Chain A
């Protein structure tokens, strides 16, 4: 069999080769008749045209291939991430232009036979991390990821995420994508700083506001109690106003701190078996007076056969007080109804009022921190945000149902079985 030659050859060279090949073929078998040469010439012409057409076809096909190769080569070179081909030793075999520009080197330098990728890793411990990464890539043959700090152009450095996978038809090589994650790292660091600053600010507020408040509250209380001598009725009235407002300020500070603690997941939950009806009844009792003062009916509608479930009694009390308090504050006439029912693996508690209700467009703001739909009630706007965090930490859910002008029902559910989020 003749070997097929794929390389391009010049026209003269082609002619010579063709003649050589012809010599190997047997000569014409017989003498030609008069008409036969004309017929042969005609056939040769047809062949020649056919060949030209085939040639043209080939050229076109080759152009398409070239174009496509150029396209993929461009896609490879100018991809938004750097691509490297590495061997098991970590020697760089191939690199796209993005990788060259990230690492600040010419391609010829990068793919030098002695150029180890570890030369670009700044920290010794991260070089070890890279070799572990490479080991995993070749061993597990899965896509592996690691994050390193790399040397860039000149004296610069950048954080990179490497994603490597073994080359399918060459198991001794892997392809590694390098993504610059410096901005993400910076954003993460900035976020950490913000969280730290917020936490520091909160403890500052905690101490710097509460300490003077304690002195103020004690001073007012001591005079009010008559500990330091008798006071008259007018003096008592004014001091009671002072004390009431000191207490209110103290409550507001406590709410801000409570929310902060819940939000960063630092709150401690005392989960114990509790009877939800008992908690509802107790909470109602403490709020009976304010409901009565406003002339509202306070109705309980409890399912008497509820199982005991695990929850933090004080915190659920806080949620209930908050919901009932909101209802009482906003309802001018009518009633507040608290009901408990058993659902599918959950206990549901609902607080229903005959207040003004919530507009549909206000619903999404309901559980947001520092939001107050009604300014007149005076608060931090944290009550429902705190309630949401507490219920979430119990693995439950809290939501509102309301038709504007027809009152609001706030519901929350607590799971009966253990499927709580750990905090």
Chain B
């Protein structure tokens, strides 16, 4: 069975290239452009991993992550923060309960290595 990744990211171009990269490595990618869209998806489906941008329209990434990690049905899904603001990201990741983080622009190997770490 193919592993399913939920990519929460509002930059369409980045969604497209990231989807291509992950698809090429054998993952199925579902995307959501906002937190609201993501939770609509999460109500009916459970992905194997979530890649989460922090700066989003409406609900911010930090809040989305906390909400996921508080939800008994969702909290075991690994969340990797996917962000352009690098300076205090390790601290933020810890605070919101994320499992890992990756900064943009990323090295393709880094992205795949971190994804593999959680869902093989």
Asked if A and B bind, the verdict is yes
B108 touches A211 (CB 8 A): no
A246 touches B17 (CB 8 A): no
Other-chain contact of A218, B14, B55, B87 (Cβ < 8 Å): B14
Tell me which residues across on chain A come within 8 A of B11, comparing CB atoms: 211-212, 215
A218 touches B84 (CB 8 A): no
With A207-B55, A211-B104, A214-B105 known to touch, is A257 a contact of B14 (CB < 8 Å)?
Answer: no
Query: What is the minimal beta-carbon distance from A246 to any residue of chain B, in angstroms?
Result: 7
Closest to B9 in A: A211
Decide if A206 is an interface residue (CB 8 Å cutoff). Answer: yes
Tell me which residues across on chain A come within 8 A of B108, comparing CB atoms: 218, 221-222, 225
B86 touches A214 (CB 8 A): no
Question: How far, in whole Å, are A312 and B21 apart by their CA atoms in the complex?
Answer: 34
B17 touches A210 (CB 8 A): no
Tell me which residues across on chain A come within 8 A of B18, comparing CB atoms: 218
Question: How far, in whole Å, are A267 and B108 apart by their CA atoms in the complex?
Answer: 26
B105 touches A217 (CB 8 A): yes
Decide if B90 is an interface residue (CB 8 Å cutoff). Answer: yes
- Considering residues B13, B16, B21, B84, which has the most beta carbons from chain A within 10 angstroms of its beta carbon? B84
Closest to B105 in A: A214
Question: How far, in whole Å, are A300 and B115 apart by their CA atoms in the complex?
Answer: 39
- Chain B residues with a Cβ closer than 8 Å to the other chain, count: 22
Query: What is the minimal beta-carbon distance from A214 to any residue of chain B, in angstroms?
Result: 4
Tell me which residues across on chain B come within 8 A of A258, comparing CB atoms: 87
Tell me which residues across on chain A come within 8 A of B24, comparing CB atoms: 222, 227
Which chain B residues in 73-111 approach chain A with CB under 8 Å? 84-88, 90-91, 103-106, 108
A206 touches B85 (CB 8 A): yes
Question: How far, in whole Å, are A218 and B109 apart by their CA atoms in the complex?
Answer: 11
Other-chain contact of A268, B17, B85, B90 (Cβ < 8 Å): B90
- Considering residues A214, A261, A268, which has the most beta carbons from chain B within 10 angstroms of its beta carbon? A214
With A261-B87, A266-B88, A268-B91 known to touch, is A214 a contact of B14 (CB < 8 Å)?
Answer: yes
Question: How far, in whole Å, are A267 and B88 apart by their CA atoms in the complex?
Answer: 8
B21 touches A218 (CB 8 A): yes
Return the CB mask of A185-228 against B: 1 if under 8 Å, else 0. Answer: 00000000000000000010011001111111111011001011
Query: What is the minimal beta-carbon distance from A278 to any residue of chain B, in angstroms?
Result: 23
Question: How far, in whole Å, are A267 and B91 apart by their CA atoms in the complex?
Answer: 11
Return the CB mask of A367-379 against B: 1 if under 8 Å, else 0. Answer: 0000000000000
Question: How far, in whole Å, are A207 and B14 apart by their CA atoms in the complex?
Answer: 13
- Chain A residues with a Cβ closer than 8 Å to the other chain, count: 28
Decide if B46 is an interface residue (CB 8 Å cutoff). Answer: no
Decide if B119 is an interface residue (CB 8 Å cutoff). Answer: no
Return the CB mask of A114-137 against B: 1 if under 8 Å, else 0. Answer: 000000000000000000000000
Decide if B20 is an interface residue (CB 8 Å cutoff). Answer: yes
Question: How far, in whole Å, are A392 and B36 apart by their CA atoms in the complex?
Answer: 45
B17 touches A207 (CB 8 A): no
A206 touches B86 (CB 8 A): yes
Question: How far, in whole Å, are A216 and B17 apart by their CA atoms in the complex?
Answer: 9
With A210-B104, A210-B105, A250-B105 known to touch, is A215 a contact of B90 (CB < 8 Å)?
Answer: no
Other-chain contact of A211, B16, B84, B90, B91 (Cβ < 8 Å): B84
Decide if A254 is an interface residue (CB 8 Å cutoff). Answer: yes
- Considering residues A211, A221, A222, which has the most beta carbons from chain B within 10 angstroms of its beta carbon? A211
A257 touches B86 (CB 8 A): yes
Return the CB mask of B4-29 against A: 1 if under 8 Å, else 0. Answer: 00000001011011101100100000
Closest to B85 in A: A206
The 3 closest A-B pairs by CB, nearest first: A214-B104, A210-B84, A218-B17
Interface residues, chain A, CB within 8 Å of chain B? 203, 206-207, 210-219, 221-222, 225, 227-228, 246, 250, 254, 257-258, 260-261, 266-268
6 contacts between A and B (CB under 8 A): A203-B85, A214-B84, A218-B18, A218-B106, A227-B24, A261-B87
Interface residues, chain B, CB within 8 Å of chain A? 11, 13-14, 16-18, 20-21, 24, 55, 84-88, 90-91, 103-106, 108
14 more A-B contacts (CB under 8 A) besides A211-B84, A217-B106, A218-B106?
Answer: A206-B86, A211-B11, A211-B14, A211-B104, A213-B104, A213-B105, A214-B105, A215-B11, A215-B16, A218-B17, A222-B17, A222-B21, A254-B86, A261-B88
